[in-house]
Amino acid sequence: MNAVVNENIATGPLALVREDLRDFGGYRSARSDRLQGEIWLNANESPWPNPSDADGMLRRYPDPQPQALREALAALYDCAPEQLLAGRGSDEGIDLLVRAVCRPGGDAIVVSTPTFGMYAVSARLHGTRVIDVPLRENDREWRCDFAAIGDAALAQGARIVFLCSPGNPTGALLPLDAIAALARRLEDQALVVVDEAYIEFADAPSATQLIATCRNVAVLRTLSKAHALAAARIGVVVADAALIEVLRRCQAPYPLPAACTDEALRALATEAASRTRSRIGIVRAERDALEEKLAELPGVRRVYASRANFVLARFDDAQSAFDRLLDAGIVVRDMRAAPGLGDALRISVGTPQQNATVLSVLESRA
């Protein structure tokens, strides 16, 4: 590598990448090169389709990063296509970031519990320490101690800070100015990853707008929640283009099944997108109503203000509430194993009728 590239590595976001991966070429699949031809004999594919394959295209490997999908997602998330990597849900994005930035056995990440468990799972599978700076509970809100996070990251040499906004399972939205200040404090020290899986339900600006001035910010987005495509497994990392290129080289050769790409493109078309926006509005209204009505029920100790598509509540007897809901055929998330949530359940916002049924079951204490 030449001196100019080395200088850029020392001063840009690539300084946060593991040194042994900065010039890592990864695996170049048969679809990595943009080649044109009539007879495709470069990927050891079957020359005949499977008898069950009506259009005969399943025998071909898919494009690793379909241009049409990248452009559609970039338009959705207000970034350039080269700032975006699509993959198998946000989970793959988390795993790629940990592998690309953290040295096994030598680095650490920072999380703030209670939070999404995959940050710690990915780190531990990679041999990376997990530093927990717990959220602070204040009445009906959860607050992030940004000063303590910065202190811990600097003192213990953390390479990634994972922030979830809105939080899962808390539903709390983090202020962008505080995220930006943390990123500036940790510049050249750590990557600040903001998981925005639920941001559409918050009606709030995205942390993607910080990337232009805070190059150590990366944002996770997904089509699983607001866009109702959980089974398609389409997630995105939005970050500085240089970091995205490193993540691409660390990614598996064919991460996006063609059928999933096609479904995502249909879902992002104008008419479907309009219906999605309408349904997001319904979810927000139902969430606010569910919060208010839950708080009035006997046996409900506390309901937290949520900016996501779920509500977190504490119960006098969480086991009884969980059992009564399950007996009625309603499955909610038992959060009692999470740090500090020994009496809590997380209830996803359903249809108006489903939400009314939840309230009816909880109100009729047997």
Q: Is the pLDDT of residue 8 over 60?
A: no
Q: Is the pLDDT of residue 189 over 80?
A: yes
**Total domains, the chain:** 2
Q: Are 295 and 195 in a shared domain?
A: no
Q: Are 20 and 152 in a shared domain?
A: yes
Split at pLDDT 50, 70, 90, the class of 11 is low
Of the candidates 234, 268, 302, which is a domain's last residue?
268
**Mean pLDDT value across residues 63-82:** 95
Q: Which of 221, 230, 227 is nearest to 197 (CA)?
A: 221
Q: How far apart are alpha carbons 124 and 145 in whole angstroms?
A: 23
Q: Are 249 and 145 in a shared domain?
A: yes
Q: Are 177 and 260 in a shared domain?
A: yes
Of the candidates 268, 288, 305, which is a domain's last residue?
268
**Mean pLDDT value across residues 318-324:** 97
Q: Is the pLDDT of residue 10 over 60?
A: no
Q: Is the pLDDT of residue 9 over 50?
A: no
**Mean pLDDT value across residues 5-10:** 45
Q: Are 198 and 320 in a shared domain?
A: no
Q: Is the pLDDT of residue 345 over 50?
A: yes
Of the candidates 216, 246, 268, which is a domain's last residue?
268
Sheet holding 158-164: strands in order across?
84-88, 234-238, 217-222, 191-195, 158-164, 108-111, 129-132
pLDDT of amino acid 81: 97
Residue 307, classed as helix, strand or coil, is coil
Q: Are 111 and 147 in a shared domain?
A: yes
Split at pLDDT 50, 70, 90, the class of 1 is very low
pLDDT of amino acid 35: 75
Cβ atoms within 10 Å of 333's Cβ, excluding its own? 15
pLDDT of amino acid 53: 84
Q: What is the DSSP letter of 114?
A: S
pTM recorded for the entire structure: 0.93
Q: Are 149 and 79 in a shared domain?
A: yes
Domain region containing 318: 273-363
Q: How far apart are alpha carbons 248 and 102 in whole angstroms?
A: 16
Q: Are 90 and 222 in a shared domain?
A: yes
Q: Are 173 and 299 in a shared domain?
A: no
DSSP secondary structure of 13-82: GGGGS-GGGTT------TTSS----SS--SS---SS--TT-SSS-TTSPPPSS-HHHHHHHHHHHTS-GG
Output the average pLDDT for the chain.
92
Q: Are 179 and 326 in a shared domain?
A: no
Q: Could you give the count of Cα atoms lying within 13 Å of 90 in the half-sphere of its Cβ?
A: 23
Q: Is the pLDDT of residue 30 over 70?
A: no
- Residue 349 sits in a domain whose CATH number is 3.90.1150.10
Q: Are 291 and 314 in a shared domain?
A: yes
Q: Exposure string (b/e) for 21-35, b if CB count within 10 Å is 16 or more?
A: bbeeebeeebbeeee
Q: How far apart are alpha carbons 328 and 357 in whole angstroms?
A: 9
Q: Is the pLDDT of residue 7 over 60?
A: no
Per cent of the chain over pLDDT 70 is 96
Which stretch of 14-18, 66-70, 237-241 has the lowest confidence by average pLDDT? 14-18
Helix ranges (DSSP H) in 231-309: 241-250, 258-267, 270-295
pLDDT of amino acid 155: 97
- Residue 197 sits in a domain whose CATH number is 3.40.640.10
Q: Are 314 and 255 in a shared domain?
A: no
Could you tell me which residues are beta bridge partners of residue 191?
160
**Mean pLDDT value across residues 301-312:** 97
